[in-house]
Amino acid sequence: MNTAPSVFGSVHLGYVVVESDRFADWRRFGTDAIGMHHDDISRDVMRFRLDDHECRFLIRRGPAEDVVAIGWHIDDHTSFEQVEARVRAHGVPVVRGSDEEAALRGVERLLRFPGPKGLVQEIYTTPVVSSEPLRMLASGWVTGDSGMGHVAITSAKPTLMRGYYHTVFDARLTDYIDETISGVKLKIRFLRVNERHHSIAIAALRGLPIDPIRTRVQHLNIQADSLDDLARSYERVHELGFDMALTIGRHTNDKELSYYARTPSGFEWEVGWNPLVIDESTWEPSTHQGISIWGHRPVGQTILDKLDQFRLGARSLVRPERTVPALSGAGIPDD
């Protein structure tokens, strides 16, 4: 039985690292469409801000066209050391990031270790705060105690992934969604590490051990401060010619109003507004049927797109999903 103190509530999604060669498109997407603050750091690095933290999204030049690392803000040094000790105790290597890497991410120091699907996990305690005023089209974004949003991942091994985030961060199950898309049944698990309804969502095909998504991450989410911010960014995405993946709709479980655009790297980007906040004293997990109360209609998807997804899924059968077995047990039941 694990008697160590829990780090739940001390963990927050802090930043995301994306590798891409499409810098001009990312600059237009992040700044002119979504409405974030943009900083050019060098020819090979750009950053986006949502608040006073120096970095929330780090775009570095490279061929992956994907998310390559997730940064987790840990509230205090005790919790930070506890997470580090857990990872090391399971025999998983922990590496200290260089001073240059920490500076690029806008943190004082960081540690990194392997994560599911090849997503490097990075932890830090102290973000660097910028005094430079925000220059962005949005009036603001919701971060703070909830972290900056969430990450959604597709997986052929969802129980192992859920076990990983429980072992490392004491992630709790918030709820499930069962959904059927084009005859294919999906089960989505939503995990929280603080008051935000979920910081990690894990989607899996029921009965089929395949992953139909090319990228490590299916979508990223950030939370607009106002309904006007959400609506105006939706208009800008259309006007600037970026692909819309799903129209505006409202989710069944967290009640968030949102839309999904397609990023220059191919994964999706959800802008949401007004999700519910979890009350730990009363919350009980449940299962919802369908991801949306209304809306979230696919845009421009053809039968060729669907066939392409099934081809990618078939490829995943011969390309095993990367896991971190030592950190993926934690007594989580097979659900």
CA 333 centroid distance within chain: 24
CB count in 10 Å sphere of residue 43: 8
How far is Cα 210 from Cα 317, in angstroms, rounded to an integer? 6
Whether 223 maps to a domain, the answer reads yes
Burial of 281: CB neighbours in 10 Å, binned 0-12, 13-18, 19+: exposed
Dihedrals φ, ψ of 215, to 5°? -85, 160
- Boundary (domain end) residue, out of 93, 124, 155: 124
Q: Which domain holds residue 113?
A: 11-124
Q: Answer yes or no: is 6 within a domain.
A: no
Q: Is residue 134 in a domain?
A: no
CATH number of the domain that residue 60 is part of: 3.10.180.10
Task: State whether 241 and 98 are in the same domain.
Answer: no
State pTM to two decimals. 0.94
Tell whether 162 and 86 lie within a shared domain. no
Helix residue ranges, H only, 158-270: 158-169, 227-239
Domain boundary among 92, 124, 156: 124
Residue 2 lies in a domain: no
Would residue 234 count as lying in a domain? yes
Question: In this structure, are 95 and 151 located in the same domain?
Answer: no
| Tens digits of residue pLDDT in 92-136 | 999 999 999 999 999 999 999 999 999 999 999 999 999 999 999
Q: How many folded domains does the chain comprise?
A: 2
Q: Domain ends where: 124, 159, 193?
A: 124
Which tens digits make up the pLDDT trace of 177-221?
999 876 678 899 999 999 999 999 999 988 777 787 889 999 999
The per-residue pLDDT for range 229-246, each reduced to its tens digit, is 999 999 999 999 999 999
Length of the chain: 335
- CA–CA gap between residue 174 and residue 190 (Å, rounded): 5
Do 176 and 218 fall into the same domain? yes
CB 124 within 8 A of CB 14: yes
Closest alpha carbon to 153 in 233, 67, 79, 225: 67
Do both 156 and 112 map to the same domain?
Answer: no
User: What torsion do the CA atoms of 77, 79, 81, 86 make, to the nearest 10 degrees?
Assistant: -170
The whole-angstrom separation of Cα 14 and Cα 53 is 9
